[in-house]
Amino acid sequence: MHSPQRLSAFILFLAISSSVCAQQTDDLLSLVEKDAKQQKEYVKSAFKSSRVINGHSMEFLAPGLMDFRILHRFGLINQGYSNFFGLDQASMRMGFDFGITRNLMLGVGRSTYRKEVDGFVKYAPIQQSVEGGSPVTVALVAGVTLNTLPWANPSIRNYFSSRLAYYYQAIVGRKFNEAFTLQVAPTLVHNNLVPLASQPNDVVALGIGGRYKVTKRIALTWDYHHLFNGIVAGQNTHPLSLGMDIETGGHVFQLHVSNAVGMNERAFVTETTGKWTNGDIRFGFNLSRVFQLGKRKSAEKAW
């Protein structure tokens, strides 16, 4: 028979072992839960570019990437052969966009239209998750444009602030499946100076953009902004663009037709003059080439 001392020691040993095992199990479960949180999967490739056509998309550049963008918009197609269906004329924007974090990016650009310089910051406080989490992405954009043309009327004092305009945008989008993405983007554009006293300094618009994937490397896109104010009869109208994205390795080539000539928010929201009903459309293309600047991180799983 075991002595009472040996029995007590055996019971104490079992108690200590059970406590240690329980603690180790709790620690292991905690590590598993922490790892699961760190491996949260966010939806990627809702669009193949950080722009739909004209406007921003819900897509972000990965950290450490730079997107060199060249945008061309030609003349009016309905001018016919005398203007080579618009190809004899062209407006251009060249830009550099940078991925800072998973949900933060910024960019700068310069347009030949009004010789404008522009910059923006885009941040997503909420991003769509593959399972659980948010069913949509919510992104906030703030941008500024600077008109560098010579002052039109030398007799009037030239204030630097008169050359500035700002825009603010909230993008709410969802990738419904591998093929279809849709987003809406309430937008406010503020011009410090407008040509006529009858024109508002603040213009409110609602952007609607989408993408439908046709093949592995080709997708159809559309980009429309409806203005709720600031329409001057016979002068400006709502911008609408239809396009096709072609992915070729490190490039995304966007072919499109549009009634807008400007390629930043101030320009295409407030100064689109062409009307689709009159055939006032322009052919254009956007070329996007991504470069790796920072250290490449392990790819996140996404769909």
pTM: 0.82
Q: What is the pLDDT of residue 24?
A: 53
How is the chain classified by DSSP, letter by letter?
Answer: ---HHHHHHHHHHHHHHHHHHHHHHHHHHHHHHHHHHHT--B---SSSSSBSSSSB-S--PPTTEEEEEEEEEEEEGGG-GGGGGGTT-EEEEEEEEEEEETTEEEEEEEESGGGEEEEEEEEEEE-BBSSSSBSSEEEEEEEEEEE-SPPS-TTS---GGGGEEEEEEEEEEEE-SSSEEEEEEEEEEEES--SSTTS-SEEEEEEEEEEEE-SSSEEEEEEEEEESS---TTT----EEEEEEEEETTEEEEEEEES----SHHHHHH-----GGGT--EEEEEEEEEEE-SPPPPPPP--
Q: What is the pLDDT of residue 4?
A: 58
Q: What is the pLDDT of residue 1?
A: 46
Q: What is the pLDDT of residue 301?
A: 44
Q: What is the pLDDT of residue 71?
A: 95
Q: What is the pLDDT along the chain (303 residues), one digit of tens a residue?
A: 455 566 565 555 555 555 544 555 455 555 445 544 556 789 989 999 999 999 999 999 999 999 999 999 999 998 888 888 888 888 999 999 999 999 999 999 999 999 999 999 999 999 999 888 899 999 999 999 999 998 877 777 788 999 999 999 999 999 999 999 999 999 999 999 888 888 899 999 999 999 999 999 999 999 999 999 989 887 889 999 999 999 887 788 999 999 999 999 999 999 999 999 999 999 999 999 999 986 665 544 444
